[in-house]
Each structure stands twice: as C-alpha cells, then as structure tokens.
Amino acid sequence: MKVTIAQINTTNGDIAGNVSKILAGIEKAKADSSDIVVFPEVCIHGYTSQDWFQDRDIIEHALEPLNTIIPATVGITAIVGTIRPNTEKDGRRLYNCAAIISNGELLGFIDKTLLPEYDVFDDPRYFEPNEKPNHLFEIDGKKIGVVVCEDFWNDKTFWKERLYDVDPAEEAIQQHPDVLISINASPYNKGKIKLRCDMVAHRAKASQTPIVFVNLIGGNDGIIFDGASLIANQEGDIILQAPAFEEFIESVELDVGKPDSRGITGGEIGAIHDALVLGIKDYARKNRFSKAVLGLSGGVDSALVATLACEALGAENVLCVMMPSPFSSEGSIKDSEELVKNLGCDSRIEPISGAFETLLGQLKFTKPKKGGENLAAENMQSRLRGVILMAISNAEGRLLLSTGNKSELAVGYCTLYGDTNGGLAVLGDVLKTEVWEVCRYINQQAGKEIIPVKIIDKAPSAELAPNQFDADSLPPYPLMDKILQAYFEQKLSPEEIIELGNDRDLTYHVLNKVEHPANEFKRQQLPPTIIISKNAIGVGRRRPITHKYRRTQKL
C-alpha cells in the first residue's frame, strides 16, 4: 500500500486557497501512483478558526467545499480533515471529522470523539463529540482505520495519566485494520516532535499495526503547527519522518518497511529557531504584510528579533530603528550598526532626547538619576519609542515586531504602550536564557558572527536611567528562568519547584511577581505571541486580572 502524506499549510477561512492545496496534493499523490493521500485535521476551513465555527453561514455551507474535492479523487482515496453540521436538534452545531473520499465518491465521515479543552485547545466550545464510534472503512479489500487527532492521544500503555476513559484509537485497532491513520492539528512546543515519534512507534509496535500520522504545518496567529508527520511500520520502526516547519507532500510504500532517507534533523534550539521564523513569516504573509519594523536597542532581544525577521521576510523588507535617549550608551548604537551591516537590512536613527526633554518640562518630571527613582520618566522613554515605531508602521504599512522576552513579560519588567507595542510578540514565549541559546545557534549555523558576540555577552539593560542594569531589579536570569519554566510549562506548585533545587525565597518572590494583578494586566494587552511551549502566556494560559490570590510560604 502506497500512502502520500499531504502536510499542508492552511489559512483560517481561506477555503478556496486551502481546497486548492488539497487538490494539488491529490494530483501529486496520483502522479506517485499512491493508493491513499492523507491531509491534516480541519484543513479545509482552518483548525484555529475559533468562533467562526459558531457562525451560521460557516455551519450552513460546511460541506460545500467537498463538492470540488470529491470529483478529483477518481483513481485514489483521500482522507481530508473537515467539519460537518450536526443535524440533530441538540448539541454543538458542528462535528470535527475526517471525510473519507474514494474514487469520486464520498464514503462517509469519521467524527472526532475526544474534544480537548486544555492549553490552546477549546474543541468543546465548537464541536459535538462522536457518540457512535465508527473508525473503519474498507477500500479495495483493505481495512483502513481512521481517527482524528486527540482520539489517538489516549493510549493507556503509553501515558501515565489519561484525560479520558475511552480510547478511540484502541477501538479502531481492535477491528484489525491493515493501517491506522491519524489526522492531526498538533501545535509545536518544546519536546513535542520527539514525543509524537515515541507515541506513534509505541502504539504501532504494541498493536502490530502500521500507523500513518499526518500533522498540520503553519503559523496561525501565535500557534505554530510544525508538521513533522510520520509513518511507523508494524514493528514500530519510523520509516518516514517528514521535515518540520515546512510543507511536505510525498509518498512512501508501507510494505517496503525500511527507513526513508527524508526526515528532520537538529535539536530543540534549532526547532525553536525554525518555529519563530515560520511564525513571523506566516503571520506577516497571512495578514498581508510584506515588510516589518522593530526597535533596535543594542540588546540581545531586539538583535535576535531583527535576525529572525530577516530570515523570515528577507533583509530588504526589514527596517531597524535606533532611538537613542540621554541614557543610551555609545556602544548600543555601534553594536546595532554592526548587526545591521551583518544582516544587510535597512536602518535609521530617530533620537528621542528632544521629545523626552520637552515632556519632562511639560509634565514637570525630574530626569532619572538612578534606576527606579522616577519610573514615570523612565517609562516615558519607552512610550516615546512606541509612538515612533507605531507611526512608521502606520505610514509605511510595516508589521511592528515586539521584542520583549518571556522572562521580562512574566514578571512585568516591561512598559505597557511602550516596548509591548506591536503586531506580533516574537519572543513572548522565549525565556531570556533561550534567547541567548538561539543567538549562539544562529552564529554556529552560519559559521560566523551574524549577531555580534558583544551583544550576546552584554549585561542586559533597559538604559532608561544612568548605569541601569536588569540585575538591579530582577534575579539573575538563569535562576529565574528555571523557576518560570517549571511554573509555566510543567504547572508545578511552589513546593515542587523548590524540590527541584530552587531557592525557597526566590521561588515565592518570582511567582508572586508573575501573579501580581498589575503584571497580568500588562500581559493581557500583549500582541499575539508566537508559542513554543505548553501553557504559554496568551491563549494557553488564562488568569483573571482582578484577584487577591497570593503564594504564601509553608512553615
């Protein structure tokens, strides 16, 4: 049996464009003499369409795109992720399903049973669960098992803890299919690619069933789907691993059972880099931006964003704006100019000292003499820069990229309506220690200094007051990031974080800064954030602004 993986990049609501990609995938599969072509979950409408799935027009016309796809399947079988109306009186108005189409005929649908509502997922808000499980079709004498995403992710022999009592994939396996196909919209986060490989290989070996696992690819707002689709044979060997973060429409012969040479390479830092580049590229492209602008401070965060933006959009489409204030060091401008030269992008200098002096006089503020002495005057500099960047964005049609990292945003070390301005928060889910690692990775891959080492090694500073450094206000990033990572990504309690070897007082200090209402107020006004981890700031984490919860140390 020959199977084509159609790992395509879809756009929410671009039904004509998405269908065009599906048709192209079908034609490629036919040219490869494939028996089956498999597409990702809800690839016709876009999986992250959110409340569009409650729109009456969307529901009423949900099946119409299939009228274009069905005739194209003459001579092949296509499994396509889509939605279909719930015609019953009760329940959610749509099913999330796989359409099984063979030789110009719609054979039927397999509806999703398990509906996730954790992290970035909110399926029960839109979809009715399948209460009449049927996961098997017979095509040309072959029994084909099909499950939709979460229905594959509940194997009791793989997971220590499960979210659901039922296991639709196991129900399909018990019917002894010749192959089990899982269509997915599984977002990227750290460790996810390896996890999927382990999960698929384990289930294939345990069930002695070949498994085809096809995943969506592409950036949708801040959610990044990495693809990395895979096929395991009945011994549990991965015989095909599709590349991550790029479209992939290729075929493999299941019966050959030997590893395919195509696949993904690189470690987790490389994957983070690729996810960020794809996130910028797709957010700009899908929102009709061809050019970007950002503030270049001479620090490592803005240097990384500038470098990623040049990779994503082309250096000729990136503008870096340097906005020195009375407290900017000479090295910050020189270092920024060196980076710009290395990248080959455009730059300009827009000083804010004059406007800053004018506003100081108008508001009768004193100029800061040390960090924290006059926060209003410090923040005014950041907000002046925000005004300049938004004006350039507005005048030139450029996407403004925000440069703050997760460590700063988590504890509120940022200025609302200043450095938080932007259309996309590129590093909003990247810890400061990870920022340094990605910068070093870029230089290592290039075999030369793209990002000057002096920028990477420079002591972090907001430069809003004389001789100001982040370390004056924050714990050392390596210590703080360990706490933040355990709290956000693992959802550990303070005592569990302390058990990992973190200082008790520091742990409670950091967590109470994270959870302070004023800092939550800031975070909820951030631009869309590119997500690279579980339970990230943004759609993956929900907290009220107004609350009186506090972490108190146990005696």
CB atoms within 10 A of CB 117: 10
Please, are residues 352 and 323 in contact by the beta-carbon 8 Å criterion? Answer: yes
Distance CA 48, CA 185 (A): 9
What is the pLDDT, as a whole number, of residue 265? 65
Name the residues annotated as catalytic: 41, 112, 149
**Which amino acid is located at 500 in the chain?**
L
DSSP, res 497: H
Q: Residue 256 pLDDT more than 80?
A: no
What is the pLDDT, as a whole number, of residue 211? 97
Please, are residues 44 and 284 in contact by the beta-carbon 8 Å criterion? Answer: no
Both 161 and 283 in one domain: the answer is no
What is the pLDDT, as a whole number, of residue 541? 87
DSSP, res 127: B
- Is 488 a member of any domain? no
Distance CA 245, CA 530 (A): 14
Mean pLDDT of 267-294: 97
Both 97 and 31 in one domain: the answer is yes
Average pLDDT, the chain: 94
Q: Mark which of 194, 223, 258 sits at the end of a domain.
A: 258
- Is 539 a member of any domain? no
Both 101 and 219 in one domain: the answer is yes
Sign of CA dihedral 191, 192, 197, 201: positive
Q: Mark which of 228, 258, 288 sits at the end of a domain.
A: 258
Q: Note the pLDDT tens digit of each residue in 152-195.
A: 999 999 999 999 999 999 999 999 999 999 999 999 999 999 99
Least confident window among 296-305, 393-402, 541-550: 541-550
Percent of the chain with pLDDT over 90: 88
- Is 25 a member of any domain? yes
What is the pLDDT, as a whole number, of residue 121? 95
- Is 265 a member of any domain? no
**Cα–Cα distances in angstroms (integers) from residue 100 to residues 105, 136, 261, 385, 432, in the given order:** 9, 10, 29, 54, 46
What is the pLDDT, as a whole number, of residue 135? 87
Domain membership of residue 354 as a residue range: 272-473+517-523
Both 252 and 277 in one domain: the answer is no
Both 234 and 281 in one domain: the answer is no
Contacts of 238 (CB under 8 A, 6+ apart): 197, 200, 201, 230, 231, 232, 259
What distance lies between CA 102 and its chain's CA centroid? 33
Report the domain count for the chain.
2
Q: Residue 263 pLDDT more than 80?
A: no
What is the pLDDT, as a whole number, of residue 264? 67
How far apart, in Å, do the first and last CA atoms of the chain sit?
Answer: 64
Both 252 and 401 in one domain: the answer is no
Strand locations in 377-517, DSSP E?
399-402, 424-425
- Is 18 a member of any domain? yes
* Residue closest to 130 by CA, chosen among 170, 97, 89, 173: 97
Residue 427 structure tokens: 């590093």
- Is 130 a member of any domain? yes
Strand order in the sheet with 179-184: 136-139, 142-148, 179-184, 211-215, 230-232, 238-241
Least confident window among 235-239, 319-323, 359-363, 439-443: 235-239
Name the residue with higher pLDDT: 427 or 464: 427
Distance CA 318, CA 346 (A): 6
- Is 501 a member of any domain? no
What is the pLDDT, as a whole number, of residue 332? 87
Name the residue with higher pLDDT: 315 or 370: 315
What is the pLDDT, as a whole number, of residue 313? 98
What is the pLDDT, as a whole number, of residue 86? 96
Q: Mark which of 193, 228, 258 sits at the end of a domain.
A: 258
Distance CA 377, CA 243 (A): 49
Name the residue with higher pLDDT: 370 or 175: 175
Both 53 and 164 in one domain: the answer is yes
Q: Which three-class secondary structure state does DSSP give residue 408? A: helix
Please, are residues 322 and 336 in contact by the beta-carbon 8 Å criterion? Answer: yes
pLDDT band at residue 369 under the 50/70/90 scheme: confident
Both 68 and 107 in one domain: the answer is yes
- Three-state SS sequence of 204-219: HHHHCCCEEEEECEEE
What is the pLDDT, as a whole number, of residue 257? 65
Distance CA 139, CA 335 (A): 63
What is the pLDDT, as a whole number, of residue 102? 97
Q: Note the pLDDT tens digit of each residue in 97-141.
A: 999 999 999 999 999 999 999 999 999 999 999 988 788 999 989
What is the pLDDT, as a whole number, of residue 260? 65
Both 32 and 55 in one domain: the answer is yes
Rg of the chain taking only CA atoms, in angstroms: 25
Both 102 and 247 in one domain: the answer is yes
Alpha helices per DSSP H over 8-87: 15-31, 56-60, 66-69
CB atoms within 10 A of CB 178: 16
Helix %, strand %, coil % for the chain, to 5? 40, 20, 45
Distance CA 416, CA 505 (A): 28
Mean pLDDT of 214-242: 95
Q: Residue 374 pLDDT more than 90?
A: no
Strand locations in 267-417, DSSP E?
292-295, 318-322, 346-349, 399-402
pLDDT band at residue 373 under the 50/70/90 scheme: confident
What is the pLDDT, as a whole number, of residue 330? 83
Q: Note the pLDDT tens digit of each residue in 297-349.
A: 999 999 999 999 999 999 999 999 999 999 988 888 999 999 999 999 999 99
Both 250 and 294 in one domain: the answer is no
Please count the CA atoms within 13 angstroms of the CA of 163 that sit on its side-chain side. Answer: 12
Q: What is the CATH number of the domain that holds 293?
A: 3.40.50.620
Element at 105 (helix H, strand E):
strand 105-111
Q: What is the CATH number of the domain that holds 168?
A: 3.60.110.10
Element at 379 (helix H, strand E):
helix 375-396
Q: Note the pLDDT tens digit of each residue in 411-448.
A: 999 999 999 999 999 999 999 999 999 999 999 999 99
- Is 508 a member of any domain? no
What is the pLDDT, as a whole number, of residue 259? 67
Both 133 and 167 in one domain: the answer is yes
pLDDT band at residue 261 under the 50/70/90 scheme: low
Please, are residues 405 and 435 in contact by the beta-carbon 8 Å criterion? Answer: yes
